[in-house]
Amino acid sequence: MTRLYHGGGALLALCAASTAFAADDCSADFDGDGTIGGADLTRLLSSWGACGGGCEADLDGSGVVDGADITRLLVDWGACSTPCPDRAPFTYVVIPDTQYMTSYSTGQVPEMFYRQTEWIAENVEDLNIRFVSHLGDIVDLGWIDAQWNVADQAMSTLDGVVPYGLTFGNHDADDAVWGRSDIVYNQYFPRERYAGNAWYGDGYPAGRNTNSYQHFEAGCEQYLVMHLQWDPPADVRAWADGVLAAHPERRVIVSTHESPGNYVLWNEVLTRHDNVFLIVSGHEGARERYLELTNDFGNRVPSILTDYQWDNPNHGMLRYYTFEPGSNAVTATTYATWSDFHETDASSAFTFSVPFGDGTDACAEQGSEPYGDGPIQLPGRLEAEHYDVGCNGHAYSDLDNINEGGQFRNDGVDVEIAYDEVQGHNIGWLRDGEWINYTVEVAESRDYSLDLRVASAGDGSVMRLTIDGVDLAGPIAIEPTGTWQTWTTLTVPGVFLEQGVHQLRLEIDDGDFNLNHIDVE
């Protein structure tokens, strides 16, 4: 259509005096007659001096003059944004390491790999799946064609059904398990296999698909998914940096075959690009891990590991992420495609936030929620690793937001195996200024005795316990016990607790100790 120009002041005056724009378009009942149609378009144009009257026009070619024509006019003039018609939740799926499915190892068989991609294809419409990433170690031994034939058959199920990309893992090399040769990989998954698709960006090195990036659109936003080989060398990092710099308008997911905290890749490349909002990875046999990295712009970027290769029996696990357009909330779901069940523990089913959206803070909305089935019942035992569920800064405050112990939970609190009288888990690596919440329910109002099970190889530590922000016992000194797993019981008597549900907080004044549990009697 021919662009018409108007006076901005007249537009603002008219909009201020009129009914607000409808929620699903930019039209409004400007003349107050209870309908939206040609008369409103006349009123709008007349107020701008664009015509003297009778200005009805079928601007969008629909055959009628209605609110859509007003929307078309205002959008063209920059007075409002085009409404997004694509508001449905959408899904991004990751396929963790499948190496043992291709090699019949640890009780795994190729049919598990086939079932994973069959399930994805069957659920493209129901889950609104927009993209799929394989996290690497597609095969176990990269020089064995029989294993690549299994992978080829499995991934072919997705060809022409949903866009996908693959990450080149260390087991995919054809010269050694920790090698670099990508010749065989590129015979089965060459650049030419994907280059004819509009969603395929390019590969690196030139002419290969060893590293690659792809595009997809969802929620009226443009996304880029980058797949980087294991331990990407300097030239690959430089290529990735250039691709990201060339696409600043796209929201970027990076798939790597690395530890979640690959600091070379992060520090040299990813932290410099604020459009990188999610990192997914395989490779480590830790099964599941979640951490957050803070980029150069001060935004927290989730980095999430999934790798079920050591599960025996294996259930053909997949992880998928559901996005809500207009929000920064993302829901992680873990599903067993071979055995048909969902994992529902806190490491497998959780919601996190990414640094974009409509300003809604998913972490703030979640807050600090009880772990497990509800508040910890007191009197009784408070296990240190049963802290509240939520994000860093809401359920806990951890300075590096990495689970240094790599056990039990997939957030930023440091949890390891405790070798006490009974083996369990303890929290550790506690640093000055950190804190952790526990939602508790006290049975009756009275004085209690607190028995803290602690260990320390440090020079002496100090902690506090508060309940609903009120200090319970002042600074609690913890003396060295000799080693990090030499346990002793520290008793704090005469602590008054009021009946009801409360938020108990462990605050670290001077760190360097481990906490196994607190017995409240």
CB proximity list for 460: less than 8 A, separation 6 or greater? 477, 478, 479, 480, 510
How do residues 303-326 score in pLDDT, each as one tens digit?
999 999 988 888 999 999 999 887
- Which residues does 5 contact at the CB level (< 8 Å), separation at least 6? 77
Q: Which of the four pLDDT bands, split at 50, 70 and 90, describes residue 407?
A: confident
234 and 280 inside one domain? yes
Boundary (domain end) residue, out of 366, 384, 419 = 366
- Mean pLDDT in residue range 150-157: 98
Separation of alpha carbons 255 and 93, rounded Å: 11
The three-class DSSP label of residue 107 is coil
Radius of gyration of the chain (CA): 28
Please list, in sequence order, all residues whose beta carbon lies within 8 angstroms of the beta carbon of residue 486, skipping any fewer than 6 positions away: 455, 457
- Tokens 């590096």, residue? 400
Helices 8-17 and 38-47, axial angle in degrees (round to 10): 130
List residues bridging with 172 in a β-sheet: none
At position 500, the amino acid (one-letter code) is G
**Residue 15 pLDDT level (bands cut at 50, 70, 90):** very low
User: Average pLDDT in the 142-161 region?
Assistant: 98
pLDDT at 296: 81
Q: Does residue 116 form part of some domain?
A: yes
Over 60: is that where the pLDDT of 26 sits? Answer: no
Phi, psi of 186 (to 5 degrees): -75, -10
The pair of structure tokens assigned to 27 is 């039209």
Q: Which residues pair with 188 in a beta bridge?
A: none
Residue 322, in any domain of the structure: yes
Confirm if 458 and 419 have CB atoms less than 8 A apart.
no
Asked whether residue 343 carries a pLDDT value surpassing 60, the answer given is: yes
For residue 11, the model assigns a pLDDT of 38
| Average pLDDT across the chain, whole number | 86
The half-sphere exposure of 456 on its side-chain side, counting CA atoms within 13 A, is 22
Looking at the fold, whether 315 and 177 belong to one and the same domain comes out as yes
Q: Which amino acid is at 178?
A: W
**Tell me: the pLDDT tens digits for 420-447?**
999 999 999 999 999 999 999 999 999 9
Assigned domain for 84 exists? no
Among 58, 46, 59, smallest CA distance to 6 is for: 46
pLDDT at 75: 62
- Alpha-carbon distance of 166 to 296, in angstroms, equals 28
Integer CA distances (angstroms), 282 to 96, 108, 223, 366, in order: 6, 18, 21, 27
Judged against a pLDDT cut of 50, whether residue 272 lies above it is answered with yes
Give the model confidence (pLDDT) of 376-405 as tens digits: 999 999 999 999 998 888 999 988 767 888
Beta bridge partners of 251: 223
> What is the average pLDDT across 140-169?
97
Asked whether residue 81 is assigned to any structural domain, the reply reads: no
Strand pairing category for 488-497 and 200-204: unpaired
What pLDDT shows up at residue 176?
A: 85
Any domain includes 443? yes
Residue 16: the pLDDT is: 34
Task: Identify the CATH number of the domain in which residue 236 sits.
Answer: 3.60.21.10
Angle between helices 67-76 and 38-47 (to 10 degrees): 30
What CATH number does residue 399 fall under?
2.60.120.260
Q: Which of 136, 139, 140, 302 is nearest to 230 (CA)?
A: 136
Q: Supply the range of the domain harboring residue 247.
A: 90-366
Average pLDDT, integer, range 493-518: 97
Neighbours of 412 (CB within 10 A): 23
pLDDT at position 72: 64
229 and 340 together in one domain: yes
What are the structure tokens assigned to 215, written together?
């595009």
- Does residue 343 sit within a domain? yes
> Is 2 domain-assigned?
no
Choosing from 310, 332, 366, the residue where a domain stops is 366
Q: Is residue 474 part of a domain?
A: yes
Residue 405: per-residue pLDDT: 87
Instruction: Tell me: do 260 and 347 sit in the same domain.
Output: yes
Please report the pLDDT score of residue 290 as a whole number. Answer: 86
Residue 324 is encoded by which pair of tokens? 């809500």
Q: Are residues 146 and 100 in the same domain?
A: yes
Q: Do 239 and 140 fall into the same domain?
A: yes
Same domain, 66 and 128: no
Dihedral sign, CA of 121, 125, 126, 130?
positive
What's the burial of 9, exposed, middle or buried (CB within 10 Å: 0-12/13-18/19+)? exposed
- Banded model confidence at residue 54, pLDDT cuts 50, 70, 90: low
Show which of 366, 395, 418 is a domain's final residue.
Answer: 366
pLDDT band at 406 (very low <50, low <70, confident <90, very high): confident
Confirm if 30 and 44 have CB atoms less than 8 A apart.
yes
Read out DSSP for 202-240?
A: EEESTT--SEEEEEEEETTEEEEEEEE-SS--HHHHHHH
Q: What is the largest CA-CA distance in the chain?
A: 90
Number of folded domains in the chain?
3
Looking at the fold, whether 312 and 382 belong to one and the same domain comes out as no
Backbone angles phi, psi at 131, to 5 degrees: -160, 155
- Is there a single domain that holds both residue 49 and residue 121? no
Based on the fold, state whether residues 280 and 357 are members of the same structural domain: yes
Quick one: average pLDDT of 96-104?
Answer: 95
Do residues 300 and 267 share a domain? yes
- Asked if 115 and 170 sit in the same domain, the reply is yes
